[in-house]
Amino acid sequence: MKNLIFLTCILASNVVLADRVILSPEEIVRLTLTHSPTLKSQDESIRAASARRLQADAGLMPQLDARAQALHFEGLENQALGPVSIPVIDDQFSASLGITQPLYTGGRVTQQKESMRLGEKATHHARAFSSSDLTLQTLTAYWQWSKALARIEAFQAAVCRMQSLATDTRNLEKAGLATDNDRLAVDVALDQTRLELDEAEQSADLSRIDLTTLTGRNFSTNEVPRKPVLQPFDNQAPPLPESLAKAYEQRADLASLRLNTRGSEALVEAARADHRPQVALIARVEEGRPNQRDFPPDNQWREDALIGATVSWNLFDGGLTRAKTAEAKARATREALQCQALEEAVAAQVQKAHLSLQHTLNRLQTSRHAEAGATRNLEVATDLWKNGAARHSDVMEAQSKLTTATARRIATEADVLIGQAILKHATGGMP
């Protein structure tokens, strides 16, 4: 009877496993990055930054303008200026085409262009960091889901074994070979295992909800993640100095803030340029009836052309330029301090991630040894019980220890994969 119960549980579990579709972490991450409204918003930020750069680039380009007007006057009278009569022209028309080419802006446009160029690059890095952050969230939820499902399998197997043990205990109680306390102890242990199974199922459901939110996709009951299987090279953490060096070099959020800081420094110079003269070349062709530059005016279409240069210099603006420069300096200083704070935060993140991964790897070795010992302990306790040299409580305790050891080993393997993802994210190595 005991073997029949255990075999039934195993066969039922295998039927479920046979219908499962394994989802790879790479596939889930791809779904997240494709669906993410955050990344789509970042794409729009990149387009806006690109447009700002193009606006700044236009500052040194020639500006071509066309003008046209048609005017009708009433109530005007002819005027005499000495021997010259100035006739009234009631209907006046004009059209012109002009071009203006900035020659010198004091560095204003050049620095604005540099700031916008750096800002555009910063938005690309900001998007890259958002992508990395979403990848970490996805992998964490994925491996939490995998860990929960693996724990479910372990607890289901434990429930099957304990149900078999409970059946044997009841039969022995009927035969007078086991006490009521033995049966109650087995039932309590079975209920506790079922509670742990329920907690694992709840954890799996919560992780699946997290992934549904991230990917925008509902997962069917037969779709499951890959089991947390480690590779040989996963058994050690990289050296801490190497991780720190990678973080300072690769972190996209740090690169974005550094670029924004440089862009703010360029805007300081652009604000100062308002104190410097501005020089532009102008040329214009105009045709009018009458041409306003003819004297006396003649009611005929006549054209003229001009070419020249304009110089403007802001000699006094009530302190406006000085205030703008001070504001730009304060922003640049603020971003430099934010960059320093982020560098310190990155160092702390890397150290914590490295330390956590190292401790998890240490726990992994211990959990594997503990599971192997618990497996051997259950085999010995079962043999002794069958030979009448051990009590039911001994087998039950051995079974409970094996269940706990297996669950901890599975959880630790998944935690190693999560820890590796956290460290990779902290060092900027996650795409």
Q: Is residue 192 part of a domain?
A: yes
* 66: helix, strand or coil: strand
What pLDDT is recorded for position 168?
Answer: 79
In CATH, what number is assigned to the domain containing residue 117?
1.20.1600.10
**Domain for residue 89, yes or no?**
no
| Residue 227 domain flag | yes
Domain with 381, as residue range(s), is 2-35+107-274+320-426
Look-up: residue for tokens 């393997």?
A: 413
| pLDDT at residue 2, as a whole number | 45
* Predicted pLDDT of residue 1: 45
Could you tell me if residue 202 is inside a domain?
yes
For residues 76-103, one letter each, b for 16 or more C-beta atoms within 10 angstroms of the residue's C-beta and e for the rest, the string is: eeeeeeeeeeeeebeebebbbebeeebe
Q: What is the pLDDT of residue 234?
A: 66
92 in any annotated domain: no
Amino acid at 317: D
Rounded to whole angstroms, how far apart are CA atoms 327 and 294? 50
If one counts the domains in the chain, the total is: 1
Output the six-digit token pair for 117: 């160029």
DSSP string, 230-283: PPGGGGSPPPHHHHHHHHHHH-HHHHHHHHHHHHHHHHHHHHHGGGS-EEEEEE
49 belongs to a structural domain = no
Whole-prediction pTM: 0.82
Answer yes or no: is 386 within a domain: yes
CA distances from 352 to 357, 359, 415 (A): 8, 11, 14
Give the number of other Cβ atoms within 10 Å of residue 288's Cβ: 21
In a domain, 63, yes or no: no
pLDDT tens for the chain, 431 residues: list them: 444 444 456 444 554 455 789 999 999 999 999 999 999 999 999 999 999 999 999 988 999 999 999 988 887 777 776 676 777 888 889 999 999 999 999 889 999 999 999 999 999 999 999 999 999 999 999 999 999 998 898 888 888 877 887 887 788 778 877 778 877 878 888 888 899 899 999 999 999 999 999 999 999 889 999 988 887 666 778 899 999 999 999 999 999 999 999 999 999 999 999 889 999 999 999 999 888 887 778 888 889 899 999 999 988 888 999 999 999 999 999 999 999 999 999 999 999 999 999 999 999 999 999 999 999 998 998 888 788 787 766 877 788 788 888 888 888 999 999 999 999 999 998 87
CB 38 within 8 A of CB 199: no
Q: What is the pLDDT at residue 7?
A: 47
